[in-house]
Amino acid sequence: AFGLTEPEAGSDAAGIATTALRRDGGWLLNGTKMFITNAGTDISQGVTVLAVTGKDDDGRKRFATFYVPTGTPGYTCGHKLKKLGWHAMDTRELVFDDCWIPEDHLIGEEGNGLRQFLSVLDKGRISVAALGLSLAKAALALAVKHATERHQFGRPLSAFQAVGHKIADIGTEFEAARWMVYRAAWLADQGRPYSTEAAMAKLYASEVANRAASQAVQIHGGYGYVRESEISRFYADAKILEIGEGTNEIQRNVIARALVRQV
């Protein structure tokens, strides 16, 4: 599990309030994390946690990354959150109350924690972009299936231009998103800079997924709005892709800063 987000700090990663203080040959953690994925399953070994360790001479916060094994005294998981979508994903609040961990549970160098977490987010954005890609592909397949099987006015829905245009838009945007995702992944595999491309891929693919799911529901009509339909799950699942691993507003900030620096 990846313990970054807090009740009062999400997009503002540097605004976290969880603290880690040196105590008795280790560190004492105190704070709360929110919306943390995969911390409370039966096979969860533990969580990596970003915490504030102090301040530099100029007053800036210092951060470090720690590994906290499941079952450590002072570390508790809240109840599984009931989300709008992603029901198969375990998501919880984590609480650290005088949670002591040994020195060797510090990951990397003290003071480098925020950079570590942000670098992980870059890779995570490619993963979310890939999720958006697969969701758009599934939505397209379901839309085509329903449009060819469902008949109105003596013709399949796919014979109506309005429906055909929706299918065309989903397919076109899916292909465009695919190459953006592939390029970002290729750059990462090659060890080349890819932060901007990852943000672009995440931004575009997640929005394509939401548009695809929405249009696919529209093609399904009333059948798409009942929970028993396959497309309803994708419709509910799509929204989180615009939020997780950095909101799309943050992605636009990242992209804009990168493009301005190139001028």
Residues annotated catalytic, as ranges = 245
The token duo for 226 is 């009942």
How far apart are the C-alpha atoms of 47 and 112, rounded to whole Å?
18
Rounded CA separation 97/107 (Å): 20
For 58, list phi and psi in degrees, rounded to 5: -85, 5
Q: What are residue 75's DSSP bridge partners?
A: 96
Query: In b/e form, how buried is each residue of 22-58, taking b as 16+ CB within 10 angstroms?
Result: eeeebbbbbbbbbbbbebbeeebebbbbbbbbeeeee
For residue 53, give Cα distances in angstroms to 28, 110, 113, 159, 228: 10, 8, 10, 63, 49
The angle subtended at Cα 249 by Cα 259 and Cα 188, nearest 5°, is 55
- Which among 230, 231, 241, 224 is positioned nearest to 125, based on CA atoms? 241
Q: Hey, is 96 helix, strand or coil?
A: strand
Contact 174, 208 (CB under 8 A): yes
Amino acid occupying residue 17: A
